[in-house]
């Protein structure tokens, strides 16, 4: 896949690890491994702040994500959410929920001395961006959201079962990883394996879950997402944390994200959605735009879920242009 319309590869001008919990002799007060967040900044130190929020939950950020941001304009902050990517401990579910992630973002903002920022997130990153904006609207200037996921039960059911109607072959492989007697509740079957301490059990389950998601993420078959999703470290963080969040309704409020839109109705937002997004179907983007008077929805006619599909990445970079200041 050509990525010529992304900005050139760039190295961070700053990076570090930020402790998220009180530590005594390298452990929490309960004697457990503490959560430590990896973060980095690219672009201009005096540029307009923008925060990148990766998907999953649990997927982690990658080097390619730096390239969405014009380095002459943006001070782009990229981080791995707790338990994901380069953050430690990898794949940890302890003290890991949406409120914790929202608080982590605020901790990072204060640590970096940023007054307010643009939020840029896709898939679960759009969910987390909305959650943070609703909690701290005064810290958000604008939002660029892609592949909208509102965390509603039908969206999770679609991922676990509905995708079979479009990707029956991929779903069959996904379902066949567990015994036939357990396939009526794939989430429970997978989660029990993903939290098993034995790598011989949790690693194959994590690869099966992650490859399924990667296979269904692009409009046309693309080996890149599948290869990336199948690597053990990436697969474990994504599958374990994602299944755990699914089991807990994404730790969202009873009224859901759409029930709190009054808190951010004044903020401008660009919504970019692939017309053939099979992981996060377009109806969620449509529903979000309908509830947000300041929203502009761009439906990319030739794209699925991945942010790296040509039409989607061009639309995302164009959306950022609106908020460059």
255-306 pLDDT, tens digit each:
999 999 999 999 999 999 999 999 999 999 999 999 999 899 999 999 999 9
Low-confidence ranges of the chain (pLDDT < 50): 1-4, 230
CA 118 to chain CA centroid, Å, is 16
Contacts of 274 (CB under 8 A, 6+ apart): 147, 219, 282, 299, 300, 303, 304, 305, 306, 309, 311, 312
Q: Indicate the SS3 state at residue 133.
A: helix
If one counts every other C-beta atom within 10 angstroms of the C-beta of residue 7, the result is 18
- For residues 194 and 244, give the distance between their C-alpha atoms in angstroms, rounded to a whole number: 9
Evaluate the CA torsion angle 101, 106, 107, 112 in order and state its sign: positive
Closest of 37, 38, 42 to residue 11, by C-alpha? 42
Say what the pLDDT of residue 227 is: 54
Structure tokens at 228: 């990336």
Could you list the active site residues?
123, 277, 305
Closest of 228, 198, 192 to residue 213, by C-alpha? 228
- For residues 157 and 63, give the distance between their C-alpha atoms in angstroms, rounded to a whole number: 31
Asked if 90 contacts 233 with a C-beta cutoff of 8 angstroms, the reply is yes
Say what the pLDDT of residue 283 is: 98
Residue limits of CATH 3.40.50.1820 in the chain: 14-151+250-321
Closest of 273, 222, 149, 274 to residue 3, by C-alpha? 222
Pure H helices in 161-302: 168-175, 186-194, 199-215, 223-230, 232-247, 283-290
Q: Name the DSSP class of 24.
A: B
CA 122 to chain CA centroid, Å, is 6
Half-sphere exposure of 258 (CA within 13 A, CB side): 13
Say what the pLDDT of residue 3 is: 46
This prediction has a pTM of: 0.95
Closest of 150, 29, 54, 62 to residue 105, by C-alpha? 54
Asked if 157 contacts 280 with a C-beta cutoff of 8 angstroms, the reply is no
Could you say which architecture CATH assigns to the domain 14-151+250-321?
Answer: 3-Layer(aba) Sandwich (3.40)
Half-sphere exposure of 29 (CA within 13 A, CB side): 3
Q: Indicate the SS3 state at residue 55.
A: coil
């Amino acid at each position: 896949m050509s990525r010529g319309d992304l900005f050139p590869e760039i190295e961070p001008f700053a990076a570090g690890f930020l402790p998220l919990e009180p530590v005594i002799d390298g452990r929490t007060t309960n004697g457990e491994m503490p959560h430590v967040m990896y973060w980095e900044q690219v672009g201009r130190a005096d540029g307009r702040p923008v925060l990148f929020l990766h998907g999953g939950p649990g997927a982690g950020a990658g080097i390619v994500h730096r390239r969405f941001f014009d380095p002459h304009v943006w001070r782009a902050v990229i981080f791995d959410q707790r338990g994901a990517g380069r953050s430690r401990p990898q794949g940890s579910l302890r003290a890991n929920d949406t409120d914790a992630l929202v608080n982590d973002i605020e901790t990072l903002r204060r640590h970096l001395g940023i007054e307010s920022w643009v939020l840029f997130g896709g898939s679960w990153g759009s969910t987390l961006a909305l959650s943070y904006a609703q909690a701290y609207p005064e810290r958000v200037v604008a939002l660029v959201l892609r592949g909208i996921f509102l965390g509603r039960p039908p969206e999770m059911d679609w991922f676990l079962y509905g995708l079979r109607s479009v990707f029956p072959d991929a779903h069959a492989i996904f379902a066949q990883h567990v015994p036939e007697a357990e396939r009526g509740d794939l989430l429970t079957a997978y989660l029990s394996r993903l939290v098993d301490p034995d790598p011989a059990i949790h690693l194959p389950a994590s690869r099966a879950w992650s490859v399924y998601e990667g296979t269904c993420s692009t409009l046309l078959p693309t080996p890149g997402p599948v290869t990336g999703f199948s690597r053990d470290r990436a697969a474990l963080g994504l599958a374990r944390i994602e299944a755990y969040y699914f089991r807990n309704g994404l730790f969202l409020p009873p009224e859901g994200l759409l029930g709190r839109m009054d808190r951010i109705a004044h903020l401008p937002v660009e919504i970019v959605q692939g017309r053939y997004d099979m992981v996060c179907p377009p109806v969620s983007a449509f529903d979000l735009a309908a509830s947000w008077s300041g929203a502009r929805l761009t439906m990319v006619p030739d794209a699925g879920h991945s942010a790296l599909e040509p039409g989607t990445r061009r639309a995302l970079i164009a959306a950022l242009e609106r908020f460059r200041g």
